[in-house]
Structure 1
Amino acid sequence: MFLDRVKPLDAILATAERKSLHRTLGAFQLMLFGIGCIIGTGIFVLTAAGAQKAGPGLMLAFVIAGTVCIVAALCYAEIASMIPVAGSAYTYSYATVGEFIAWTVGWALVLEYAIAASAVSVGWSGYFAGTILGDTFGISLPVSLTAGPLALGGAPGGFINLPAMVIALLVTWLLMIGTSESAKVNAVLVLIKVTALTAFIALTLTSSEFDVARFNPFLPAGVFGGWGTGVGAVGAAATIFFAYVGFDAVSTAAEETKNPQRNVPIGLVGSLLFCTVFYILVAAGAIGTIGGQPIMGPGGIPFPAGSEELARQCALPQFSDALVCSNEALAHVLREIGFGAIGNVLGYAAILALPSVILVLLFAQTRIFFVMSRDGLLPEGLSKVHPKWKTPYVVTAITGVIVAIGAAFFPVGQLADIANAGTLYAFAMVAVAVMVLRRTDPTRTRSFRVPALMIIGPVTVLGCVFLFLNLPLEAMLVLPVWTLIGCVIYFGYSRGSSHLGRGIIEVPEVEVATTLEPDIPGIADRNRD
């Protein structure tokens, strides 16, 4: 019953061909798109949360998370070049393991993009409050207006993160009225971010403050912090994984890519490798200059990142300048080693560039909604286009309000963990889809083939499960609850409204002949023009 609807791959490609967007993007633009979406809150903000979980072992955490992403990217590269359409993991699952699993993947992607956008908004808020208001204008916003109250043990006194909510709503409004970033604007923003991080690496690694002794002990919380604790190098990797989220967004642009069979793999793997090297160097520079040892709680276990206990410790004089206590980690490091002006410039770079990440995430989610609506799994009204703005304003507004609420009331670390849960599920299903297609459609042209797939595929799945099980328990529980809600919607509405279930399937016209078998057992092919 659950796996009885697999959409023919030729039908998916035909639908995309008839309703596709203009193909304008090349390999270099895709790499810039990937780098622009990857480099964001993860490295600018979560460096502090990662250090609190793993200490100097943060560098190992980047390696662990990066390794899982690299093998996942190889799977994405093969299937995205084969199926160069919008919809990402949702579409790939639809063509391999069926509609129900595809629905759960698409539903998880909705969670990923929305919560990730909230997390980036919170990250932007930290830099705005610290660099713009604090260091530039000398204005100090009260904690009640810069921290949300709904964290599990969140910062004391928090009521609402006002800057985070405002930036989320502002980006939503820009998307609604039709303002989107062009390839040129994106390239400029990527240049700003890469330049800022390059300057950070150069200044920290050559600083007289750099001392290898700061890396000892390298793993103060060990490699494994324990199931459900979210600490240790692996626990930090499960959180830091968020720093890599975004490379999969390259696949959502496959339908707008020239020669996608060649350019999509280059964009996916190239952007990921570039960012991995950057992250490791940034972590080394930050820890080597001001240290990154976590603040330990009872039993030698680090206080949870974003917790009330950690907030109280950070309020003490001896920890006020600690890396793990900063809301704007990289700018804070530069100020501590005597480069305050450059630290402010880096803060300005984050303030300027992070809204573009929010925009890309919200844009990607609307694409997922669009494709699910095109398949009949969501009401067509969600993709209703505004007569003046020519944008899907209904779904954009709904998404924007949800993102703003999440940004207003939750801390960045907790949001990142929740977003990671949905992402890890989607990544694992992409690996499954690649392995299934190798068996069910072995003769189809593959311009890129995952080497040693029977090793890489299972490693990707196991790596995603491994990181998922090392998320904090609260974040792990969000995904099954969210999936349960999705199942109610699927069986209550989507299954009955599905185009595939109703026999509405588009296929290439040249193949509409007596050679076609019924697409669904018991349902004859409909007449096609």
Structure 2
Amino acid sequence: MTQRRLHGVEFDAKSFARGNCLNKWRVKSLDSILATAEKKSLTRSLGAFQLTMLGIGGIIGTGIFVLTAEAAQLAGPGMLISFVLSALVCGLAALCYAELAAMVPVSGSAYTYSYATFGEILAWIVGWALVLEYAVAASAVAVGWSGYMVGVLDNFAGIKLPAELVTGPYAGGIINLPAVVIALAVTWLLVLGTKESATVNSVLVTVKVAALAAFIFLAVPAATADKFEPFLPLGATGAIGAASIIFFAFVGFDAVSTAAEETKNPQRNIPIGLIASLAICTVFYMLVGAGVIGSYGAQPVFGPNGEALQPGSPELVAQCKTFAEATLPVVCSNEALAHVLRAIGHPGIGNVLGLAAGFALPSVVLM
């Protein structure tokens, strides 16, 4: 058995390694977590309104501005059912977050909850899974921002960027340069130490909500019943598949629980912030979806032989190129909401909506 000396003390290397391994499964008690938070606690300044704004700011992003088109390709008008299914799943998760955040009102969210229940090693895995989730989400938002900014440059300034520089290799391009630029720009701001206050976040949330409200105000009154038929062109499986995509549009509500340590009366305000932000966003999403479907139509695009095409597939990209700009289906647009407004006779407001998306979406990347 190998014996070693460390600072003059002999110890068994194998026993040390075995004990160190077992320590990886140690669970940190709630009392210890709360005591540590008490020593290094952040200022508790956030109320229910600020938390709701934080939740809405984290939720409303590329999902509703961009993924509406992808959901329509799978479910058609039935994507309204997909919104409900996704909201129900997120609602159940939000109730769990609310309960845990009320019990453990400290920063760390799912990492801290896992540490207190399953142990250090699983908490470590959960922590890195969250990092991966936010990295993928930030990348997707950057791509969504690119689509809107390309449309804004085209319609406002008449600048057409080469297709090879605004699409990835999967769509026949080389690189999505605007997405790379905004990702690097936000990274640079974070390296400088930029901090986004609750007040600035509330302003950006107001911009996003105002843009969606303007869309609803113009598109919903223009809706006609015939645009909702067939309601489920690809059957119930299409609506369920679209729900898995739309679920991404709700990602971000857990940002409320990460602010538990900065919240006044977290046992009351955290649940309010989580549920209120989800409820408000669900209503907005349903109205936006109804406006897209009823005013312009959201039927999926089929292949040359009538086959169903997957969102984002090269086959769908090729099929979309056969349509003229004036008749371009919503599922083929990189800026679905702005495209719908331009098509129903509001090109100026459509351009402004694209500009609002371009202004607000980087805040989601930053968050």
Q: Same fold (TM over 0.5)?
A: yes
- Post-superposition Cα deviations, 1:444-476, rounded to whole Å, max 9, x if no partner, equal xxxxxxxxxxxxxxxxxxxxxxxxxxxxxxxxx
Partner of residue 177 from structure 1, selected from 186, 192, 196:
192
Using the alignment, how far apart are the partners of 2:363 and 2:318 within structure 1?
33
Q: Is the helix fraction higher in 1 or 2?
A: 2
Is residue 291 from structure 1 mapped to residue 312 from structure 2 by the alignment?
Answer: no
After superposition, where does 1:163-312 map in structure 2 within 5 Å? 163-207=178-222, 210-224=223-237, 232-297=238-303, 301-312=307-318
Using the alignment, how far apart are the partners of 1:72 and 1:155 within structure 2?
34
- Post-superposition Cα deviations, 1:457-508, rounded to whole Å, max 9, x if no partner, equal xxxxxxxxxxxxxxxxxxxxxxxxxxxxxxxxxxxxxxxxxxxxxxxxxxxx
Aligned partners of 1:80 and 1:264 also within 8 Å:
yes
State the Cα distance separating 1:260 from its structure 2 match: 1.0
Residue in 2 aligned with 1:329? 336
State the Cα distance separating 1:302 from its structure 2 match: 2.6
Using the alignment, how far apart are the partners of 2:282 and 2:183 within structure 1?
27
Counterparts in 2 of 1:216 and 1:90: CA distance versus 1, 3 Å: same
Using the alignment, how far apart are the partners of 1:312 and 1:202 within structure 2?
34
Aligned residue type for 1:351: G
Counterparts in 2 of 1:236 and 1:299: CA distance versus 1, 3 Å: farther
Residue in 2 aligned with 1:449? none
Residue in 2 aligned with 1:349? 356
Moved over 6 A (4+): none
Aligned partners of 2:303 and 2:319 also within 8 Å:
no
Partner of residue 115 from structure 1, selected from 102, 120, 136:
136
Using the alignment, how far apart are the partners of 1:34 and 1:335 within structure 2?
30
1:186 is paired with a residue of what secondary structure? helix
Residue in 2 aligned with 1:20? 41
Aligned partners of 1:31 and 1:267 also within 8 Å:
yes
Residue in 1 aligned with 2:80? 59
Aligned partners of 1:221 and 1:300 also within 8 Å:
no
State the Cα distance separating 1:297 from its structure 2 match: 3.5
2:202 is paired with a residue of what secondary structure? helix
Residue in 2 aligned with 1:7? 28
Aligned residue type for 1:41: T
Partner of residue 45 from structure 1, selected from 50, 53, 66:
66
State the Cα distance separating 1:12 from its structure 2 match: 1.2
Using the alignment, how far apart are the partners of 1:178 and 1:18 within structure 2?
24
Using the alignment, how far apart are the partners of 2:148 and 2:324 within structure 1?
23
Residue in 2 aligned with 1:145? 165
Aligned partners of 1:51 and 1:292 also within 8 Å:
yes
1:195 is paired with a residue of what secondary structure? helix
Counterparts in 2 of 1:53 and 1:147: CA distance versus 1, 3 Å: same
After superposition, where does 1:502-517 map in structure 2 within 5 Å? none
Counterparts in 2 of 1:69 and 1:45: CA distance versus 1, 3 Å: same
Residue in 2 aligned with 1:155? 171
Give the % identical residues. Answer: 65
Counterparts in 2 of 1:223 and 1:301: CA distance versus 1, 3 Å: farther
Using the alignment, how far apart are the partners of 1:318 and 1:348 within structure 2?
24
Aligned residue type for 2:339: H
Please report the RMSD computed on the Cα atoms of aligned residues, expressed in angstroms.
Answer: 1.5
Aligned residue type for 1:200: F
After superposition, where does 1:314-463 map in structure 2 within 5 Å? 314-317=320-323, 321-360=328-367
Using the alignment, how far apart are the partners of 1:216 and 1:177 within structure 2?
52
Aligned partners of 1:34 and 1:247 also within 8 Å:
yes
Using the alignment, how far apart are the partners of 2:23 and 2:348 within structure 1?
58
Partner of residue 78 from structure 1, selected from 96, 99, 115:
99
Using the alignment, how far apart are the partners of 1:300 and 1:5 within structure 2?
57
Aligned residue type for 1:236: A
Residue in 1 aligned with 2:52? 31
Provide the TM-score with structure 1 as the length reference. 0.64
1:206 is paired with a residue of what secondary structure? helix
- Post-superposition Cα deviations, 1:15-38, rounded to whole Å, max 9, x if no partner, equal 122122221111100000110111
Residue in 1 aligned with 2:149? 128
State the Cα distance separating 1:317 from its structure 2 match: 2.4
Residue in 1 aligned with 2:114? 93
State the Cα distance separating 1:138 from its structure 2 match: 0.6
State the Cα distance separating 1:180 from its structure 2 match: 2.1
State the Cα distance separating 1:199 from its structure 2 match: 1.1
Using the alignment, how far apart are the partners of 1:100 and 1:49 within structure 2?
37
Aligned residue type for 2:232: L
Counterparts in 2 of 1:258 and 1:301: CA distance versus 1, 3 Å: farther
Aligned residue type for 2:122: I
Between 43-52 and 18-27, report the one with greater CA deviation. 18-27
Aligned partners of 1:48 and 1:324 also within 8 Å:
yes
Counterparts in 2 of 1:331 and 1:107: CA distance versus 1, 3 Å: same
Aligned residue type for 1:155: A
Using the alignment, how far apart are the partners of 1:234 and 1:295 within structure 2?
18
State the Cα distance separating 1:101 from its structure 2 match: 2.0
Counterparts in 2 of 1:277 and 1:130: CA distance versus 1, 3 Å: same
1:223 is paired with a residue of what secondary structure? helix
Provide the TM-score with structure 2 as the length reference. 0.91
Aligned partners of 1:3 and 1:97 also within 8 Å:
no
Unpaired segments ≥5 residues, structure 1: 225-231, 361-529
